[in-house]
Every structure is written in C-alpha cells, then in structure tokens.
A and B are shown apart, each in its own frame.
Chain A
Amino acid sequence: MRPHIYRATLIAVAALTLAGCATLRVSSHTDRGLVWSKYKTFDWGPADPLPASDPRLEKDPDFHDRVAGAIEKAMATHGFEMSARSEEPDLLIHYHANITARLDTDRNRYQDGTLVVDIVDAASNVLLWRGWAQGDIEGALRNSGRMRRRIDEGVGRMFETLPERR
C-alpha cells in the first residue's frame, strides 16, 4: 500500500508543479536588414487607446507598472537607454495585452493571455520588431504574485529573441 500512496503523492506534486509553470510561448518578427546599433535611446510611445484591452487586466493596478518595468529592464540589458526628458528618443515602445478563451488539446477551456510588444522607429514610425508571449494565465488572473512572475518570464524570454545590438 505504502508505495502506492507515495507514488500518487509524487504524481500529484508533479502535476501541480507543471500546472503552475506551464511554459509561455514566446517569439518575434523582425526586420532582418535592421542595424540596431543606429539606435540608442527609447521612450514610451503615445498610449494606445486601450493598452490592455481586457477589464480583468485593467482593474489590476500593478499590471501596467510591472509590464513597463520588465520591458525597461530588458531594453537596458540590450544596451538601450531611456531617453532624457528633453531629447527625442530613437525608438518608441508600445505594448498590448489581451485575453482570449481557448481550448487546449483535451478540449478544456482556458484563458490564453497574449502580451505583444512593438519597437518602432521614432522618426519614421515604422515597426522594427514585434515580440510576444502567450500562455495560460487562468491562475495568474486570481493571484497577483503569479501574474508578476508570468509578466517577468514572458517579457524576459521574449526579449531573448531580440537581435543583438552590435
């Protein structure tokens, strides 16, 4: 009997662990001819009419701060600087978040969240890079700590796909 209980517990723990950190899918599209070294400074673009188009995100006061903070950190890691207030930035950044109910392969409904980040040439307003992170945020919608970890992971991994700034 004992080994059975032990085994069941192990499986339960494993299942819980997996459910908690189901991986986010991240990827990006980019301008292949792009010379990133031309660009040094960035700033936030004019606010989208609806930066986060889902009321469940809008009511979370932390959400925008956390996303913006994670993006600023990732940009700094890539060698970009936030432009000084008096200067014109080289790049403008926009992001957009949305939530859609989707079905997984077992036909279970879940809440699929997408965070899209656009990096735009400030002078020409041309999109240079778009990155995104997508995944199940069912649990994160009910737990702000989990949401913060989701945002940090999504933004961090999405920016790993940004071409090197040489």
Chain B
Amino acid sequence: MSAATRLSRVAATGIAALALAGCATFRVDSYLDRGADFMRYRTYAWAERGAFETGDPRLDNNRFFSQRVEEAVDLQLTARGFEKASRGDADLLIRIHARVDQRLESAALDRIDGHCIDNDCRSLVYDTGTLLVDMTDRRTNRLAWRGWAEGSLDGVIDDQRWMEIVIDEAVARILARVPRNHS
C-alpha cells in the first residue's frame, strides 16, 4: 500500500467517523400541502397519542424519549408564535412519529473505482433514526405540513443526555422549516 493510498484512506475513515458522530449531520426536509395557508394557523394541540412504536425496544413507550420530543416541539412552536389550544379548538393537530432502522453503507473509498482497497470490503453498519412531525388542519383533517430529520443514532440512545441534545437539535431544525404563520 503506497503512502498516498494510506493517507487518503485515513482521511476517508476520519471523514466517515465525523459524519457518523451525530449532531450536525441530520438530513432535514419537509413537505407543504399546496392548499395549506399558514397565515390562518395560530393555535395547535397534540393529537391523541397512539402506541409509540419505533422499531427499537429501548424507545417503545419510553416517556424519557417521547416527552423530550414533545417538550422540544412545544418550545419551538411557541417561539414561532403558535399558541397551544384545546384539542377541539386548535387550528393544527400535531403528531410525532419516530423510527429506528439499521443501515448498511459501503465504505466511501469502495466507490471510487468500484474495487475494495486492499480487499477491505467492510461496510459501515449503523443505526439511523427518523423523526417526523406532522401538522394536520383540524377542520379539513388534511395534512398541512410534514417535516422530518434523519441521522445516525449510533451510541445516542444509550446516552440519555446525548439523546436529549440530538432530539432538541433535530426538532429545532425540523420546525425551522415551518412556514411563517403571521408577522
């Protein structure tokens, strides 16, 4: 193995490690219903919560997870001028979904020329989490807006404080994409 190859490999490993380290590496996106007019939306309420199934037994019906998400959403919506109302009166109903999956990703260097460097075909296997926030127009019962964040969760759930930081940041970045409701 040449020195240059070794160096580029070290660099690639370093970058991969950074990318997996968490925090700043969510992919965040959202969907806005064409008919939704956010200028009319002022109040929100939590929709009735069903069973909180995530695909990860550590998080299923885990209030340390679900309450933190709800608190973070409350905080962000309040900061954006939304007011909490009763379920029967609110303009918007909020629902949360969370999902944990195991992902398989080929090491970055494998793709350059289609060969595995030094026959090292090891792949990156890691847990990825998706957090999804739905806003439904209570009157029409139509989905008005959906935002989500997806990112690596390796080691995150096993560390309560780290999990809370990741939740807060994911929720903040998701809800930063909510259209302005009023000035």
Contact = CB atoms under 8 A, between A and B. Distances in A.
A29 B57 contact: no
Interface in A21-58: 25, 27-31
Interface string B154-177: 000111100100000000000000
Contact of A27 (B62, B65, B159): B159
Interface in A90-130: 96, 98, 102-107, 114, 116, 126-127, 130
B41 to A, nearest CB: 33
Interface of A: 25, 27-31, 96, 98, 102-107, 114, 116, 126-127, 130, 132, 134
Interface residues of B, number: 18
B64 A29 contact: yes
Contact of B63 (A27, A98, A127, A134): A127
Contact of A104 (B64, B65, B125): B125
B160 A126 contact: no
B57 A116 contact: yes
Given A104-B125, A107-B104, A130-B62, 20 more contacts: A27-B158, A27-B159, A28-B160, A29-B64, A29-B160, A29-B163, A30-B160, A31-B64, A96-B57, A98-B57, A103-B125, A105-B122, A105-B124, A116-B58, A127-B61, A127-B64, A130-B58, A132-B57, A132-B58, A134-B58
B155 to A, nearest CB: 9
Interface of B: 57-58, 61-65, 102, 104, 122-125, 157-160, 163
A107 B123 contact: yes
A90 B64 CA distance: 20
Contacts of A27: 157-159
A28 B163 CA distance: 12
Contacts of A25: 158
Contacts of A98: 57
B102 A103 contact: yes
B52 to A, nearest CB: 12
A103 B122 CA distance: 12
Nearest to A103: B125
27 contacts: A27-B157, A27-B158, A28-B160, A29-B62, A29-B64, A29-B160, A29-B163, A30-B64, A30-B160, A31-B64, A96-B57, A103-B102, A103-B125, A104-B125, A105-B123, A106-B122, A107-B104, A107-B125, A114-B58, A116-B57, A126-B63, A127-B61, A127-B63, A127-B64, A130-B64, A132-B57, A134-B58
